[in-house]
Amino acid sequence: MSLSSKEYFIRETGKSIKRNGIMSFASVSTVAVSLLVLGLFLLMYLNTDNLAKYLEGQVEMTVYLEDTATGEEVAEMREKLKKMEGVVQVTEVTKAMAMERFKNRLGDQATLLKALGKDNPFPERIKALVSQVEHWPKVETAKFGQEVVEHLFALTKVMRIGGAVLIVFLCFATLFIIINTIRLTVFARRREVVIMKYVGATDWFIRWPFLLEGMTLGLGGAIIACTVVDLIYVSLSGRLHTTFAFFPVLPSWPTLLYADIFILACGTLIGALGSYLSRQLPFPEEVPAGLGGAAL
């Protein structure tokens, strides 16, 4: 491709975007809104995933002992638990302490043991621990809060599947918008395209300005989306930190960098793909009747 061709493509892309100003503005806006939703959802998904991982790491096993257990039996059991793989801390809560701490909430159940996974204990591991401990003498029940963990897993699963579906759906919606915009551009420039064909332009020469236009519109929308996503995230994460200090919000850096790269790549790729696909549709071969004439 010669230098004058590159200049020509860039000039034509700029002219075309300017010429179809309202349509270009509409498509950049729609792409921006789609990518904004996509970006916000991505960050929400990343944070939920992070929260799930964080809570998974907080899993504790509670072993309830029978009332008849003696002090010696409890001490022995504590030593046994400490030696078990995956247990990092064992906390004994006596009946009196429990009464003190939880007042009437725990009734006559006496001991609370904390079993914390070292880095990120797998639920199976905790389950295995529970199933072992359950069979010890004097143990009435052993629980690891599986309801909470299971609910969390279900939630993250829904987030993962739902997120993937929504992202795919939004990508398709954005793609559809770009295809339509480029089709309109092609329609607006059909005379030019027909003349290009008559004077011997290759298909790729004709295609380049449209491809660049799609990419520019996609990138433009993506830049707007990135800016808004960044502003929203920084503002919201700040508020979350001050309101819910325990909530593990992902830090802006480098989370936003990854999100921005994803949004920009998505916008540009979708723009290019939209242009490419729009050219696969039937194309005007002839100047339609009635569009001829001197000034046209």
Partner 1 sequence: MLEMTDVSKTYPGGNVALRNINVRIEQGEFVFIVGPSGAGKSTFIKLLFREVLPTSGSIRLNDVDILNLTAKEVPYLRRQLGIIFQDYRLLPDRTVYDNVAFAMQVIEAPYRKIKRRVMNVLDLVGLRRRAYSKPNELSGGEQQRIAIARAIVNSPSLVIADEPTGNLDPETSMEIMEIFQEINNTGTTIIMATHDKEIVDSMGKRVIAIEHGEIVRDELNGVYGYESEQ
Does 190 bind partner 1 (CB under 8 A)? Our answer is no
Using DSSP's 3-state secondary structure scheme, residue 139 falls into: strand
Select the residue interacting with partner 1 from 22, 96, 245, 295 (CB under 8 A).
295
Of the candidates 167, 141, 144, 148, the one whose C-alpha atom is nearest the C-alpha of residue 45 is 167
Does 235 bind partner 1 (CB under 8 A)? Our answer is no
Does 293 bind partner 1 (CB under 8 A)? Our answer is yes
Report the distance separating Cα 16 and Cα 14, nearest Å. 5
**Residue in the structure block whose two tokens are 């789609």:** 34
H or E, element range at 49: helix 21-56
Select the residue interacting with partner 1 from 196, 223, 232, 277 (CB under 8 A).
196
CA 48 to mean position of chain CA atoms: 9
Does 284 bind partner 1 (CB under 8 A)? Our answer is no
Mark the segment that binds partner 1 (CB under 8 A) among 103-111, 122-130, 199-207, 254-262.
199-207
Select the residue interacting with partner 1 from 69, 106, 201, 228 (CB under 8 A).
201
Beta bridge partners of 274: none
Does 167 bind partner 1 (CB under 8 A)? Our answer is no
Does 205 bind partner 1 (CB under 8 A)? Our answer is yes
Q: How far is the CB of 12 from partner 1 (least distance, A)?
A: 9
**Whether the Cβ atoms of residue 98 and residue 110 lie closer than 8 Å to each other:** yes
Beta bridge partners of 143: 62
Backbone angles phi, psi at 221, to 5 degrees: -60, -40
Which residues within the stretch 5-24 sit at the binding site for partner 1 (CB under 8 A)? 5, 7-8, 19
Beta bridge partners of 62: 143
Q: Please give the biggest Cα pair distance in the chain.
A: 106
Does 245 bind partner 1 (CB under 8 A)? Our answer is no
Which of residues 116 and 196 has its CB atom nearest to partner 1 in the complex?
196
CA 219 to mean position of chain CA atoms: 19
Which of residues 2 and 70 has its CB atom nearest to partner 1 in the complex?
2
**Under rule CB under 8 A, how many of the chain's residues touch partner 1?**
28
Q: How far is the CB of 17 from partner 1 (least distance, A)?
A: 14
Q: How far is the CB of 214 from partner 1 (least distance, A)?
A: 20
Report the distance separating Cα 179 and Cα 73, nearest Å. 74
Q: How far is the CB of 274 from partner 1 (least distance, A)?
A: 23
Select the residue interacting with partner 1 from 131, 202, 227, 235 (CB under 8 A).
202
**Helices marked H in 103-202:** 123-134, 146-188, 190-198
Site residues (CB under 8 A) for partner 1? 1-5, 7-8, 19, 191-192, 194-203, 205, 285, 287, 292-296
